[in-house]
Structure 1
Amino acid sequence: MVNQIRLYTESDHVEKAQHFEAVLSSRGVETEIVTVEQLNARFLRLHPELGLCVDVDGLWLCANGMKMQPDWQAETARLKRASLKSEMIARACNLAEKPFLIDATAGLGHDSLLMAHLGAQVTLVERHPILFTLLEDSHIRARQDTFLSQVVARIHLVFSDSADYLKSRVEQKNLVDVVYLDPMFPQRDQNQQAPKKQAQVKKQMQLLHLLLPEDGEMDLGDHLLELAQDIAKRVVVKRPRLAVFLAGKQPDHQWQGDACRFDAYFQHELVA
């Protein structure tokens, strides 16, 4: 796991950078603040190594001339178009019932944002200190937005390893309506006849892959399925359309889309 990283900023935002330095230090990440004259596209191109930067819009992950953050404000148009009928994830997670839901594979939080908008009370779990801090900053900034403030009020962030968090809920018999799983690297196990040339991964995912290397640190989430089934009435797994089942377990029901599908595992015997 990345435990040392440079944090670039301009002189106007040093105080904000120092805040993030303290937060990351409390989470085991050592940062070196580097003040630059202009934190612009040219600077990022000339400093391609993985780093962080702070500007008027908050905290960013940067590398290879790119920068990204969980831009929840950019999701506003999608949220305003979304409805319980139009979104397949809403049917898969039974969002019409306004469930208490754990998103155990946070990513950039966009699915959690959508599910909260459609009525779920979401606990968003992330173990990587840098990614969690990026999510936390997005959550704080979204609270200042008139539209998003009502949505993120239904999102609770938890800094924890998902397996540890689910185990603690199992031990406490603390049940939940839905656990949602969207493993970071499902492409390794796609059940395809022949390899296909894939489109370039989006900028956000490219940078996440640099932060969260596939080998060792990340996995497919197989171990989370059984834990999730111990505490949730419904476990929903987002998969690429042709991917094999998580942990090799056939779901009770599926919702199929053009590019992805949702596999659902029902636990009718659980009583909260």
Structure 2
Amino acid sequence: MAAAGTLAERLGSPRRTHPPERGLYLWLAPDGLSLCQAAGPAMCMRAEFVSGVQGYRSARQRHQHEAVVRACGITHQHCPWVVDATAGLGRDAFVLASAGARVTLLERSPVVHALLTDGLQRATAAGAGERTGRMHAHAVDAVDWLTGAAGDVSPAVVYLDPMYSGRRRGAAGKELALLQALLTDTTDEPALLARARAVATERVVVKRHRHAAPLADQPPDYHLPGRSTRFDVYRTRNA
């Protein structure tokens, strides 16, 4: 399959016809790209926007009521440019785009970026092009990108969802375990928050576990609580 060879070359990884006996691997099938674990309990994950849990979330058409939408200040009358600086698999970014925002997704892991790009392409083919058309993914370090954006047109909102440890149940817990196994290096959270606050013209929004300390121990201006997570909102000096 030519697509598999192109992907392997881009990621600098060997191409195999069968899964390895151990470790993580990418599996490219006709229905999409997945990250899988070879040993232990069989686990695979991929970026999904129009089916599964995310599809149900999107199909409810209640985007304006989502906490992440309210935290980012998105309304029917105001659809700011949002930079999702820790994009991951893009689920919250898809909700923001569904609410009308233009979203720039930054993901430093080439593997996660490949999963994200594949999910966006499949969602577009499935009829979600109006929403995915407002999402633009980049394989780049967020601090570097935000530093470069400081002298250009700046985003209104920077959204941060640093991967935090903590107990998660079901599919979310399995996916977190896979991501933690893949992403061994840690984010410089103080630098990321400081850069985001310097660039955003309206606010910085940080997703946290409900009982977690504020990111980099920087107290927010206010927060929106939920059952398991909360959104800390930092008004910026540019607002």
Match of 1:60 in 2: 34
**2:64–2:99: 8 Å Cα contact kept in structure 1?**
no
Q: 1:180 to 1:141 in 2, by over 3 A?
A: same
How many angstroms apart in 2 are the aligned matches of 1:126 and 1:183? 11
Q: Describe how 1:221-240 pairs up with structure 2 within 5 A.
A: 221-232=189-200, 233-240=202-209
How many angstroms apart in 1 are the aligned matches of 2:191 and 2:27? 34
How many angstroms apart in 1 are the aligned matches of 2:168 and 2:60? 28
**1:68–1:204: 8 Å Cα contact kept in structure 2?**
yes
Match of 1:249 in 2: 218
Match of 2:110 in 1: 129
**2:63–2:95: 8 Å Cα contact kept in structure 1?**
no
Q: Does 1:17 align with 2:17?
A: no
**2:64–2:74: 8 Å Cα contact kept in structure 1?**
no
Match of 2:25 in 1: 51
How many angstroms apart in 1 are the aligned matches of 2:50 and 2:7? 21
Which whole-Å deviations, capped at 9, do the CAs of 1:221-266 have from their partners, x for residues lacking one? 2321111111111100011111111121111111111111111011
**Number of corresponding residues:** 230
> What code does the residue aligned with 1:55 have?
A
Q: 1:198 to 1:86 in 2, by over 3 A?
A: closer
Match of 2:163 in 1: 184
Q: What root-mean-square deviation, in Å, do the aligned CA atoms of Structure 1 and Structure 2 show? A: 1.9
Which structure 1 residue ranges, 4+ long, deviate > 6 Å from structure 2? none
Alignment TM-score, normalising by the size of structure 1: 0.79
Structure 2: gaps (5+ residues): none
Match of 2:174 in 1: 203
Q: 1:86 to 1:198 in 2, by over 3 A?
A: closer
How many angstroms apart in 1 are the aligned matches of 2:105 and 2:25? 24
CA drift of 1:220 comes to 6.3
> What code does the residue aligned with 1:250 have?
P
Q: Percent identity of the aligned residues?
A: 34
Match of 2:49 in 1: 72
Structure 1: gaps (5+ residues): 1-13, 25-29, 37-43, 188-196
How many angstroms apart in 1 are the aligned matches of 2:118 and 2:63? 28
CA drift of 1:57 comes to 1.4
Which whole-Å deviations, capped at 9, do the CAs of 1:3-38 have from their partners, x for residues lacking one? xxxxxxxxxxx22311212332xxxxx2222224xx
Q: 1:122 to 1:207 in 2, by over 3 A?
A: same
Q: Secondary structure at the match of 1:167?
A: helix
Match of 1:190 in 2: none
CA drift of 1:101 comes to 0.3
Return the index of the structure with the highest Cα Rg.
1
How many angstroms apart in 2 are the aligned matches of 1:159 and 1:182? 16
